[in-house]
Chain A
Amino acid sequence: QVQLEESGGGVVQPGRSLKLSCAASRLTFSRPPTHWVRQAPGKGLEWVASILYDGSNQYYADSVQGRFIISRDNSKNRLYLEMNSLIRDDTAQYYCATQGEGGSLDLWGQGTLVTVSS
């Protein structure tokens, strides 16, 4: 069974930083996770960031540009999201996902919850 597993979520104060990690099972080595998507409580899905497999290019939603950094370690088959200068609006369930055909996101982890609160 192909699986993605996020970790690193928790409660953090506004202005602080947090780093999320996404681990892929061995079966996803050929299809690594490359996207982060978040969902605020009771709200819809919001794409956050993407990175090419070789790490050469990163793309960010306007809402996180300049504050979040997406990276990957292919030797560990891990995807990361470093979140800086966190604000309350960053409170959400964060999912990592693999890219499928046509730019779809065809495999998702179960998510990790980030709560920004003082």
Chain B
Amino acid sequence: SYVLTQPPSVSVAPGQTARTTCEGTNIGSKSVHWYQQKPGQAPVLVIYNDDDRPSGIPERFSGSNSGNTASLTINRVEAGDEADYYCQVWDTGSAYRVFGGGTKLTVL
């Protein structure tokens, strides 16, 4: 089955740029989606199809995807961005949805 690997944690100071990655074999050929989950809350879609933002998601959030690595970038990080972030793809070969293990973003 398809595996997505994310770093367990990322730390950044307020106002700086946070970047986290999602690695998978030839992930650049798939559409990658990113979710934000704050403690005690349901996940929220923040990026879909590699680099599109749902309505209501700030422009500070962006994504990219190429080769074996997809990335989520958050510019001008705010305290409210502190959360777990999960990447996800649709493994069309198996029809499975696959999630990465998640990255905890800490705002220092």
Contact = CB atoms under 8 A, between A and B. Distances in A.
A62 interface: yes
Interface stretch (A12-20, A67-75, A82-90, A107-115): A107-115
Interface in B2-61: 31, 33, 35, 37, 41-45, 48-49, 52, 54
B99 A47 contact: yes
The B interface is mostly helix, strand or loop, or mixed, namely: strand
B49 A44 contact: no
Q: Contact size class for A?
A: 20 to 34
Interface in A64-111: 95, 100-111
Contact of B88 (A62, A105, A107): A105
Contact of B45 (A46, A62, A104): A104
Interface of A: 35, 37, 44-47, 50, 57, 59, 61-62, 95, 100-111
